[in-house]
């Protein structure tokens, strides 16, 4: 009996000891109650794993040890969370473990064979030396060749179909949005790498704290290129009577960066984009390019679909200075000052036919235009941009003066036109975004803008006598418009950085004041100037005030990120014009949500989604009542209430990258649906078009899809680029009091490739195929027009001997359209360069349009309109240029 009792005690003590070695608990996400299933739970003693087990679907685990240990450690591992370790004490059961999510950084991926491309997180680096070729003059030529990149004729850079917002030079934003002068001027031999910064955040204090889908480029300058001031002096002369000089100075070191260019030409090189910028909202864009400030025109002819240098007869001089100084304590001073003078002429003819149910209408005209323009911009700024604070103040001045003289001939005879406008304005933008001690962030912004653009249009002889002068011919018509505009906005916001859902709340107020003052007068044959009454004048005062609050919520996991903005705006709009007995006030509350989301499908691929609902209350352009003579054949006015519209926009895009294979692709679809309460009514008669905005529901729908594919082909040392898109547009027109439904469809395909044939001989090809169809459902019949446009560009670049380069280029453009004569043109260009390294000089010979084509015809066709335009071209030109590398 005693033996059994002893055995029972031993077993009981063993069971008690065994119970003390049971370890259990629950694993969950930090600060949340979500369980973490399939986490690896390890028990360690003396740095050795003695037991392990994964968590179940509820995040629970239980591990039973078979023996006692002096010290125990608990270790938990999971791919998407930080490693957790804990020394176990007396408490080993019902543990609650909180894991912290981690970001799995993509390791550098490097292509070891040429071309050299590397990826690190959201940054792709292209080795410039791997992609540059003998023919390249500047860094812009190299960027055009990079897989995934494209550069438009205006200098706008795109990466996987997204517009590049910033061009940094060693991390400094020297040129801001006017980066065209940099891509055209900076020698590619100064640049080591071109970095593409996807999902870029310009404000360092907000990095990884909000959703962004911006794209930026950073030029990494070679160390040896930072040591001294460099530059080039170019002298170009040619025939017929051509000149093309340029002097530039470049310095890119850590403390000072400068890019200054003095240039001029009459070769068709348009330099105005260096001042206006590719994608900025400057004063010229806000006050000079807004619709209300561009109601007047001397011609109704557009531009042809060929490079501007072919038809731009100019005399241009430009000074472009950009200087940046990095001071102590991370402060930066910067000045960007540009001045341009331009004198150009254009000659063209136009024939337009409107296909209407009540009879076709024809317009024919010949235009001879001369333009003289002064353009200036100055921007001075001081800023600091660190991980703890962003502060900036930027003061801008912009100026433009343009005088246009136009001689026009139509079926009624000759018409002389004189148009003048004068833009003057300034703006100031202040921003302060500090991070607080608790890691939250506040933001204070204040902007102030003022601008004006007085403009006049004089037409000889006077037009529309049957409307303006009781059918009596008169000497001239004179239209004057001036719309001084003042706008200011102040806002503040607070960003909470704690919690899984980041929150940002912004409140603000802005006010907009405009005065639309216009007068249409006529001069009788005795030169007496006479006004025509209240129906041809405007004295419209406009004011709008807005108070808004914008809650913003963002949520981010290891692979998914989303942001929701819900701006709520209260608008008070008041406008009055005593001469038209117009006085209206309107209160509006607008809620315009915007949802963005991005799912990181793999380390290099992501799917992006965007939905936006926008309610909009129109502007001063919608409600002026007095008639405005917009050009020699158009009168315009309004007879409607303030336009109100609602628009839904949906975008879905997939971006794919395989850095090791140097392959980039993207595909996307978009859809928009807009409904407004006004529509433009056009009454078209021979020699006159009357446009009136009237009250009527107006529905527009547009959808499109696009795909892009870029691949570097190693055996050919070439980049293959393919781009295709489809778009469909459905809308209505009110023509001659008849509502006409319009449907249009367009297909676009753009391939390009450059292949190495032999060691020093290449061949390149780029093409464009565009098929468009426009259909009008009229009252009695259906009208349908089809147009096919093709462009083939074949180049033969070669380096036949040392320090020598030549390129022959053939470009064919052809257009085929319904019931119209086909058009086909072939342009031949030649370029050669020889380098004398000993003298640091280049000699260049450029011959353009060797076929001596002096006229170019284009067609523009819609469902109810056929337009044929013919433009005068430069003809054959020869230019000899000497380049001194300083």
Label each residue of 357-384 as H, E or C: CCCCEEEEEEEEEEEEEEEEEEEEEEEE
CA–CA distance, 213 with 200 (Å, rounded to integer)? 7
Among 202, 227, 252, the domain boundary falls at: 227
pLDDT over 90 (residue 120): no
Predicted pLDDT of residue 9: 42
Query: Is residue 864, in this structure, part of any structural domain at all?
Result: no
Residue 514 has a pLDDT of 92
Q: Which of 166, 197, 227 is the last residue of a domain?
A: 227
* Same domain (yes/no): 31, 55: yes
Tens digits of residue pLDDT in 153-168: 777 888 988 889 899 9
* Residues 50 and 135 both lie in one domain: no
Q: What is the pLDDT of residues 12-55, one digit of tens each?
A: 444 444 445 788 888 888 655 678 888 888 888 877 778 888 88
Q: Tokens 């260096």: give the residue.
A: 274
Give the CATH number for residue 39. 2.60.40.10
Average pLDDT score over residue span 119-135:
86
- The domain total for the chain is 2
Separation between Cα atoms, residue 500 and residue 120, nearest integer Å: 26
CATH number for the domain including 138?
2.170.130.10
Are 95 and 118 in the same domain? no
- Report residue 57's pLDDT band, with 50, 70 and 90 as the boundaries: confident
Domain co-membership, 65 together with 121: no
Considering the domain architecture, whether residues 144 and 72 belong to the same structural domain is answered as no
At 539, list the tokens.
Answer: 């004295």
Q: Which of 40, 71, 99 is the last residue of a domain?
A: 99
Between CA 327 and CA 404 the distance in angstroms is 46
What sections of 756-847 are H helices per DSSP?
none
Q: Are 115 and 210 part of one and the same domain?
A: yes
Tell me the C-alpha distance between 44 and 48, whole Å.
5
The verdict on 9 and 63 lying in the same domain is yes
- The pLDDT tens digits for 231-278 are 999 999 999 999 999 999 999 999 999 999 999 999 999 988 888 765
Polymer length in residues for the chain: 886
User: Each residue of 789-826: pLDDT tens digit?
Assistant: 999 999 999 988 888 899 999 999 998 877 777 889 99
| Same domain? 93 vs 122 | no
Considering the domain architecture, whether residues 207 and 180 belong to the same structural domain is answered as yes
The answer to whether residue 122 is domain-embedded is yes
Look at residue 136 and tell me if it is in a domain: yes
Instruction: Let me know whether 32 and 123 are in one domain.
Output: no
pLDDT exceeds cutoff 80 at 292: no
Say if residue 534's pLDDT is above 50: yes
Q: What is the pLDDT of residue 689?
A: 82
Domain assignment present for residue 872? The answer is: no
Sequence-ordered list of residues with C-beta below 8 angstroms from that of 380, at least 6 positions apart, any chain = 334, 335, 394, 395, 396
What's the confidence (pLDDT) of residue 288?
57
Query: Do 61 and 149 belong to one domain?
Result: no
Q: Could you tell me if residue 435 is inside a domain?
A: no
- Identify the bridge partners of residue 11 per DSSP, sorted by sequence position: none
Predicted pLDDT at 295: 84
Whether pLDDT at 2 is above 50: no
Residue 61 lies in a domain: yes
The reply to whether 520 falls in a domain is no
- CA pair distance 493, 502, nearest whole angstrom: 13
Q: Span 702-731, mean pLDDT?
A: 91
Classify residue 215: in a domain, yes or no: yes
**Domain ranges, residue 30:** 2-99
Please check whether residues 113 and 67 belong to one and the same domain: no
């Amino acid at each position: 009996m005693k033996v059994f009792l002893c055995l029972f005690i031993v077993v009981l003590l063993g069971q008690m000891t065994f119970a003390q070695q049971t370890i259990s608990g629950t694993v969950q996400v930090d600060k949340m109650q979500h369980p973490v299933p399939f986490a690896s739970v390890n028990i360690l003693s003396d740095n050795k794993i003695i037991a392990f087990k994964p968590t179940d679907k509820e995040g629970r685990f239980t591990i039973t040890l078979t023996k006692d240990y002096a010290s125990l450690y608990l270790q938990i591992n999971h791919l998407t969370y930080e490693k957790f370790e804990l020394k176990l004490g007396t408490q080993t059961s019902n543990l609650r473990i909180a894991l912290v999510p981690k970001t799995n950084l993509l390791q550098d991926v490097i292509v070891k064979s040429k071309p050299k491309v590397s990826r690190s997180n959201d940054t792709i680096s292209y080795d410039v030396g791997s992609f540059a070729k003998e023919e390249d003059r500047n860094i812009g030529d190299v960027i055009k060749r990079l897989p995934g990149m494209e550069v438009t004729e205006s200098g706008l850079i795109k990466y996987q179909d997204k517009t590049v917002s910033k061009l940094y030079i060693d991390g400094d934003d020297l040129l801001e949005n006017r980066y065209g002068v940099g891509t055209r001027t900076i020698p590619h031999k100064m640049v080591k790498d071109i970095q593409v910064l996807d999902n870029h955040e310009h404000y360092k204090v907000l990095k990884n704290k909000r959703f962004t889908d911006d794209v930026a480029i950073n030029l990494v300058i070679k160390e040896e290129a930072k040591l001294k001031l460099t530059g080039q002096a170019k002298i170009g002369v040619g025939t017929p009577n051509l000149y093309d000089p340029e002097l530039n100075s470049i310095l890119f070191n850590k403390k000072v960066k400068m890019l200054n260019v003095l240039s001029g030409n009459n070769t068709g090189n348009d330099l105005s984009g260096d001042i206006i910028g590719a994608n900025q909202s400057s004063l010229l864009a806000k006050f000079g390019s807004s619709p209300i400030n561009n109601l007047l025109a001397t011609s109704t002819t557009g531009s042809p679909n060929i490079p501007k240098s072919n038809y731009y007869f100019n005399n241009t001089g430009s000074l472009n200075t950009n200087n940046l100084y990095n001071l102590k304590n991370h402060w930066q001073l910067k000045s960007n000052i540009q001045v341009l003078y331009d004198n150009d002429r254009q000659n063209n003819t136009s024939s337009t036919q409107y296909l209407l149910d009540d009879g076709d209408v024809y317009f024919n005209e010949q235009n001879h235009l001369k333009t003289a323009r002064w353009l200036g911009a100055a921007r001075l700024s001081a800023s600091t941009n660190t991980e703890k604070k962003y502060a900036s103040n930027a003061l801008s001045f912009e100026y433009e003066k343009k005088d246009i003289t136009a001689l026009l001939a139509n079926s009624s005879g000759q018409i002389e036109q004189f148009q003048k406008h004068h833009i003057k304005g300034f703006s100031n933008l202040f921003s302060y975004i500090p991070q607080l001690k608790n890691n939250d962030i506040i933001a204070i912004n204040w902007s102030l803008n003022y601008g004006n653009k007085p403009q006049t249009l004089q037409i000889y002889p006077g037009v529309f006598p049957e409307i303006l002068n009781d059918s009596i011919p008169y000497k001239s018509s004179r239209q004057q418009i001036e719309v001084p505009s003042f706008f200011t906005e102040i806002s503040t916001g607070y960003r909470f950085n704690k919690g899984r859902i980041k929150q940002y709340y912004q409140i603000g107020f802005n006010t907009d004041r405009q005065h639309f003052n216009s007068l249409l007068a006529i001069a009788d044959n005795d030169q007496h100037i006479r006004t025509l009454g209240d129906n041809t004048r405007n004295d419209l005062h406009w004011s709008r005030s807005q108070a808004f609050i914008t809650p913003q919520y963002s949520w981010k996991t290891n692979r998914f990120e989303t942001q929701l903005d819900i701006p709520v705006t209260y608008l008070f709009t008041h406008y009055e014009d005593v001469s038209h007995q117009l006085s209206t006030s309107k209160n509006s509350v607008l809620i315009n949500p915007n949802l963005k989301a991005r799912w990181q499908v793999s380390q290099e691929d992501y799917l992006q989604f965007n939905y936006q609902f926008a309610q909009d209350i129109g502007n001063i352009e919608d409600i002026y009542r007095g008639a405005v003579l917009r050009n020699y054949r158009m009168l315009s006015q309004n007879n409607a209430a303030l336009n109100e519209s609602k628009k839904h926009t949906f975008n879905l895009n997939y971006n794919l990258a395989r850095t090791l294979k140097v392959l980039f692709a993207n595909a996307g679809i978009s859809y928009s649906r807009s409904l407004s309460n006004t529509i433009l009514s056009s009454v078209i008669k021979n020699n006159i078009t009357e446009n009136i905005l009237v009250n009527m529901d107006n529905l527009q729908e547009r959808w499109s899809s696009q795909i892009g594919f870029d691949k570097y082909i190693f055996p050919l040392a070439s980049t293959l680029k393919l781009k295709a898109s489809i778009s469909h547009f459905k809308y209505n027109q009110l023509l001659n009091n008849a509502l006409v439904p319009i449907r249009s469809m367009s297909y676009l395909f753009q391939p390009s490739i450059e292949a190495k044939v032999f060691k020093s001989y290449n061949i390149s090809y780029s093409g464009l195929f565009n098929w468009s169809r426009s259909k009008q459902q009229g009252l009695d019949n259906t009208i349908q027009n089809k147009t096919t446009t093709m462009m083939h560009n074949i180049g033969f670049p070669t380096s036949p001997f040392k320090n020598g380069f030549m390129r022959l280029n053939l470009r064919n453009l052809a257009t085929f359209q319904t019931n119209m004569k086909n058009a086909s043109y072939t342009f031949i260009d030649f370029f050669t360069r020889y380098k004398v390294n000993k003298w640091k000089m280049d000699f260049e010979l450029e011959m353009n349009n060797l076929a001596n084509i002096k006229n170019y015809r284009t067609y523009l066709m819609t469902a109810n309109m056929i337009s044929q335009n013919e433009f005068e071209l430069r003809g054959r030109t020869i230019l000899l240029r000497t380049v001194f590398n300083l």
